[in-house]
C-alpha cells in the first residue's frame, strides 16, 4: 500500500484530505502542518507521494519542494489556488519537479472538497507511478525564483516561402517541465509554427505562455481567438477550451473554441490533430506525443502517420507519466521514440530545408 503525506497548514484541510484518501482503502496516510514539518515527516515516514500546499508559514510549499527534490526526490502533487499568482507559483513548482497540481477548494472546505475528490484521488494515484526528475542547480533556482528571467536571444524568423507545414504537440501530466526542456532548444528560424495542446486550466495557460516566451528564442503566446499561423512562433491552446486549426480565405489560422464535452481532456490533443489533418496533407504535419496519463491524441496521431505524417513519442526513459506516448506506440503510430532531450534535434532535422528550398 503506497504511503501518502498530506502537507497543509489548515487543520481542517488536513482532516478532510486524510479522510478522503483513507476512505479509498488504498493509502497509508500521514499529515504535516508546514514545509519544515513535512521534511521531518519525509525522513521518518518515507512517503511514496506527497500533496503539498503552496502557501504555508515557516516554510512555504515552493521552498519545501526544492528541498524534497534536491535531497530525496519523490512524486509531489501541488495544491494551489487558480489565481494568476497561484498559477505562476505552481508553474515554477512544475519546473522544479512537481508531477501535477490540483485546485485548492475555496470557501467552506467541507462543502467544496467533493468538487475535487475524483481529480485529487486520480492525480495522486497517477503520481505514485510517476518518475520525479531532479533539476540541475535546484536550490539556487528556488532562491532566485522571484527574480525576472533573462529573455532568450531572438532573431527574426522567416516570413516568406512557408510551405504550410505545422508541428503539433500533445502533452498532459508533467508537461510544463518537459516543454521547458524542449522548446528553448529550438531556433527562432524554425520554418514551421508549433501548436500545443497542454491539458491545463484556463487560469494557467496565459501565465505558462508568458513563462515560456521568456526562455525561448521562438515567440510564445496563448491562443485567445482566431490567429494567423506564422513560422517562428509557438501557440499554446487556452485551457478549459479546445484548440483547432482552421483555414479562412486560403490562410491557416489557429483558434480556440468551446471544449467538446464528449472528450475528457482539454485542450484536446485528438481534436487538434484531426483539425490539422483536415486542412493539411500528412507530409506537412509533424505530431509529438509527450508525457501524460490517458490516451488523448494517440488514435489521431496514429492515423496521421498512416497518411504520411511523421510522429514522435516521448520515451519511457524521460516521460514523467508514460501513458499518452505509450498508447501511441501501442497503436503503431510512432515514427520514432525519443527521450525529451533528443526531440529538438529531431524536429530541426526533419524541418531543415534543402538548398533548393524544397519541402522538408
Question: Any idea where the domains of the chain sit in the sequence?
Answer: 3-143, 166-351
Contact at 8 Å (CB) between 198 and 171? Answer: yes
| Average pLDDT of the segment spanning 288-295 | 96
* Residue 191 pLDDT greater than 90, yes or no: yes
Is 172 in the active site? Answer: yes
Q: Decide which of 347 and 151 is more confident.
A: 347
| Average pLDDT of the segment spanning 57-85 | 88
| Average pLDDT of the segment spanning 164-169 | 94
Given this model, what pLDDT does residue 6 score? 97
* Residue 112 pLDDT greater than 90, yes or no: no
Residue 89 CA to residue 95 CA, distance in Å, equals: 10
Sheet holding 233-237, edge to edge: 219-223, 233-237, 194-198, 166-171, 285-289, 310-314, 336-338
Task: Say whether 166-351 and 3-143 share the same fold.
Answer: yes
For 9-165, strand residue ranges (E) read 28-32, 49-53, 76-80, 100-103
* Residue 81 pLDDT greater than 90, yes or no: no
As given in the structure block, the three cell numbers for residue 347 are 524536429
The enclosing H or E element of 55 equals none
Given this model, what pLDDT does residue 306 score? 98
Is 259 in the active site? Answer: no
Which pTM value belongs to this model?
0.86
Q: Looking at 104-108, 141-145, 315-319, which range is the least confident one?
A: 141-145
Residues across the chain: 360
Distance from the Cα of residue 341 to its chain's centroid: 16
Given this model, what pLDDT does residue 161 score? 40
Which fold is adopted by the domain 166-351? Rossmann fold (3.40.50)
User: What is the number of alpha carbons within 13 Å of residue 5 lying toward its C-beta?
Assistant: 26
* Residue 63 pLDDT greater than 80, yes or no: yes
Model confidence at 303, pLDDT cuts 50, 70, 90, reads: very high
The residue from 48, 259, 296, 315 that is catalytic is 296
Beta bridge partners of 337: 313
Q: What is the chain's Cα-based Rg?
A: 21
* Residue 356 pLDDT greater than 50, yes or no: no
In CATH, the architecture of 3-143 is 3-Layer(aba) Sandwich (3.40)
The residue from 8, 80, 199, 318 that is catalytic is 199
Q: For the chain, give the mean pLDDT.
A: 88
The residue from 80, 172, 315, 318 that is catalytic is 172
Model confidence at 354, pLDDT cuts 50, 70, 90, reads: very low
| Average pLDDT of the segment spanning 212-224 | 97
Contact at 8 Å (CB) between 244 and 226? Answer: no
Is 262 in the active site? Answer: no
Amino acid at each position: 500500500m503506497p504511503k501518502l503525506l498530506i502537507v497543509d497548514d489548515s487543520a481542517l484541510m488536513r482532516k478532510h484530505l486524510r479522510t478522503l484518501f483513507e476512505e479509498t482503502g488504498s493509502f497509508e496516510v500521514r499529515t504535516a502542518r508546514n514545509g519544515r514539518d513535512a521534511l521531518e515527516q519525509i525522513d521518518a515516514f518515507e512517503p511514496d507521494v506527497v500533496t503539498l500546499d503552496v502557501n504555508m508559514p515557516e516554510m512555504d510549499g515552493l521552498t519545501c519542494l526544492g528541498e524534497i527534490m534536491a535531497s530525496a526526490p519523490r512524486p509531489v502533487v501541488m495544491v494551489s489556488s487558480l489565481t494568476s499568482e497561484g498559477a505562476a507559483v505552481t508553474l515554477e513548482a512544475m519546473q522544479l519537479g512537481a508531477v501535477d497540481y490540483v485546485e485548492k477548494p475555496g470557501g467552506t472546505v467541507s462543502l467544496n472538497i467533493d468538487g475535487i475528490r475524483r481529480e485529487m484521488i486520480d492525480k495522486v494515484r497517477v503520481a505514485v507511478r510517476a518518475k520525479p526528475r531532479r533539476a540541475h542547480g535546484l536550490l539556487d533556482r528556488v532562491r532566485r525564483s522571484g527574480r525576472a528571467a533573462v529573455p532568450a536571444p531572438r532573431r527574426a524568423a522567416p516570413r516568406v516561402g512557408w510551405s504550410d507545414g505545422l508541428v503539433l504537440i500533445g502533452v498532459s501530466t508533467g508537461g510544463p517541465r518537459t516543454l521547458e526542456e524542449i522548446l528553448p532548444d529550438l531556433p527562432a528560424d524554425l520554418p514551421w509554427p508549433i501548436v500545443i495542446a497542454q491539458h491545463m486550466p484556463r487560469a494557467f495557460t496565459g501565465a505558462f505562455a508568458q513563462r515560456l516566451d521568456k526562455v525561448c528564442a521562438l515567440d510564445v503566446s496563448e491562443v485567445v481567438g482566431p490567429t494567423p499561423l506564422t513560422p517562428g512562433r509557438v501557440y499554446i491552446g487556452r485551457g478549459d477550451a479546445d484548440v483547432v486549426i482552421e483555414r479562412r480565405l486560403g490562410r491557416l489560422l489557429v483558434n480556440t473554441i468551446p471544449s467538446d464535452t464528449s472528450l475528457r481532456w482539454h485542450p484536446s490533443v485528438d481534436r487538434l490533430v484531426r483539425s490539422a489533418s483536415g486542412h493539411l496533407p500528412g507530409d506537412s504535419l509533424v505530431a509529438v506525443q509527450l508525457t501524460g496519463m490517458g490516451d488523448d491524441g494517440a488514435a489521431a496521431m496514429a492515423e496521421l502517420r498512416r497518411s504520411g505524417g511523421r510522429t514522435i513519442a516521448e520515451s519511457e526513459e524521460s516521460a514523467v507519466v508514460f501513458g499518452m506516448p505509450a498508447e501511441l506506440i501501442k497503436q503503431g503510430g510512432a515514427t520514432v521514440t525519443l527521450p525529451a532531450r533528443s526531440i529538438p534535434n529531431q524536429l530541426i532535422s526533419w524541418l531543415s530545408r534543402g538548398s533548393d528550398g524544397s519541402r522538408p
